[in-house]
Amino acid sequence: MMYAVILAGGKGERLWPATEERPKPFLPFGGRGRTLIRATYERVLPLVGEDRIYVVAGPSLTPRIKVELSLPPERLIVEPYGKNTAPAVGLAALILHSRDPQGVMAMLPADHRIEDEEAFRSALRAAERAAEEGYLVTLGIRPTYPATGYGYIEAGEELFRTEGNIVCRALRFVEKPDRKTAEEYLDRGNFFWNSGIFIWKLSRILEEIERHLPGLHRALGLLAERLGRGGWEEALKEAYGMAEETSIDYGVMERADRIATIPVSFGWSDLGDWHAIWEVSPKDPQGNAVHGARLIAQEAEENLVFSATGKRVALSGIRGLAVVDGPDALLVVPRGRAQEVRSLARSAAEGTPDWETLREHDTAGMAGVLEDFPRQCREAYSRGKEAELPGSLRGFSRILVV
């Protein structure tokens, strides 16, 4: 019997500033107006039923999850704090194993987008069979371009076919490659993107944790003594202090034996930055993708516009930008440089002086607009006169232009 465990962690820093008050799983990019976590839940619901869907999250997210998914407390597994994915997987596996020692667990990130949901469920059914035969299984995404932002899985010989899927032996996991290596992987045809979706028997993953993560194993032993008894919260905090802070990929999957991968093509994206959001979004005839904003466009093409507040956003003479109106900050960045947003988010969180982060960038006619921009803003704020800020920038405490 399979259980779906949704991991609802991660800061979503590359989707800043939208994630300042709304963590990535709760952003409305799941398709058909759904949040990402709602889409993840509904995607697996026909396969396992609601009674076998669990969510692992930290205490700050649990109120949102209860509302978003109407999840009863017994199916919400609360970590005391995040220590990457290995402790989260171990905690969920321990709890589920106590209820069903023969069960199979599918580990699903809460913030992925998948277009062909039936193909996804078919792959999980195939993975369940492989897990029943003792394999630790990962879904490998067939690459569509030489990506340098994903880790890869090298597939070996075919093990068997089921549910229209090919189950292969996984030879090794490899780190994010450079461009030349990624092109070689694409040409060879047996390297697949690591989706971060894993399937295994509960007993098997607990055995591998014992073998490779001794601190986490000791922590789970402590928790096993408290299951169904008092003192759980105190034991949980103590246990997390023992556990290694590592991913399940590095801590177990890269070291274990009997690993299998299922190559899949079901329209997957981890929505890792604003460029990825643009790629999967519906677009107007000019290629602009709009979420939450009311767009006024004049000779503006292939832009991503997001507003958390429903603002009108006017664009003229620009191409290929991400314009993101967050709760307390405005971001403007070329989509091709969307990976840089993480460093901006960290600077903002650390309290970097606002105008020290401004720098000019000549992008499709923007240079003339930006030439006077920092000076105008500095002068307006130095005089304490917000009304003198350019245009619709009034009311923002932080404005970053890359």
Detail the DSSP E strand segments found in 8-89.
53-57, 76-78
Q: What is the mean predicted confidence (pLDDT) over 116-137?
A: 98
Q: Looking at residue 221, which CATH number applies to its domain?
A: 3.90.550.10
Q: Are residues 288 and 253 in the same domain?
A: no
Query: What integer best gives the mean pLDDT of the chain?
Result: 90
User: Per residue, what are the HEC states of 303-357?
Assistant: CEEEECCCCEEEEECCECEEEEECCCEEEEEEHHHHHHHHHHHHHHHCCCCHHHH
301 shares a domain with 166: no
Which tens digits make up the pLDDT trace of 287-335?
999 999 999 999 999 999 999 999 999 999 999 999 999 999 999 999 9
- DSSP summary character for residue 139: E
At 385 the pLDDT is: 45
What's the pLDDT tens digit per position in 203-260? Answer: 999 999 999 999 999 999 999 999 988 899 999 999 999 999 999 999 999 999 999 9
pLDDT surpasses 60 at 156: yes
Domain span holding position 179: 2-269
Answer yes or no: do 133 and 202 share one domain. yes
Are residues 308 and 265 both part of a single domain? no
Going across the sheet that includes 321-325, the strands are 289-291, 304-307, 321-325, 329-334, 398-401
Say what the pLDDT of residue 402 is. 53
pLDDT above 50 (res 195):
yes
CA separation for the pair 383, 366 (Å, rounded): 26
How far apart, in whole angstroms, are the C-alpha atoms of residue 8 and residue 190?
A: 30
On whether both 238 and 292 belong to a single domain, the answer is no
Tell me which of 253, 269, 285 is where a domain ends.
Answer: 269
Beta bridge partners, 24, equal: none
Tens-place pLDDT, residues 321-333: 999 999 999 999 9
Same domain, 255 and 364: no
Alpha helical stretches, state H, 256-307: 274-280
**What sections of 133-262 are H helices per DSSP?**
179-188, 202-212, 214-224, 232-242, 248
Q: Output the pTM of the full model.
A: 0.86
As beta bridge partners, residue 173 has 153
Please check whether residues 159 and 294 belong to one and the same domain: no
For position 378, what pLDDT does the model report? Answer: 46
Q: Are residues 117 and 17 in the same domain?
A: yes
Q: Please tell me the distance from the alpha carbon of residue 107 to that of residue 85, in angstroms, as a whole number.
A: 10
Domain tally for the chain? 2
Q: Does 341 lie in the same domain as 253? A: no
Please state at what angle helix 214-224 crosses helix 202-212, rounded to 10 degrees. 130
Residue 399: which residues within 8 A CB-CB, separation 6 or more? Answer: 329, 330, 354, 358, 377, 393
- Tokens 């130095």 locate to 382
Residues 248 and 106 in one domain: yes
> Do 381 and 343 belong to one domain?
yes
Residues 19 and 54 in one domain: yes
- What's the one-letter identity of residue 245? E
Distance CA 164, CA 149 (A): 29
Tokens of 340: 């840089």
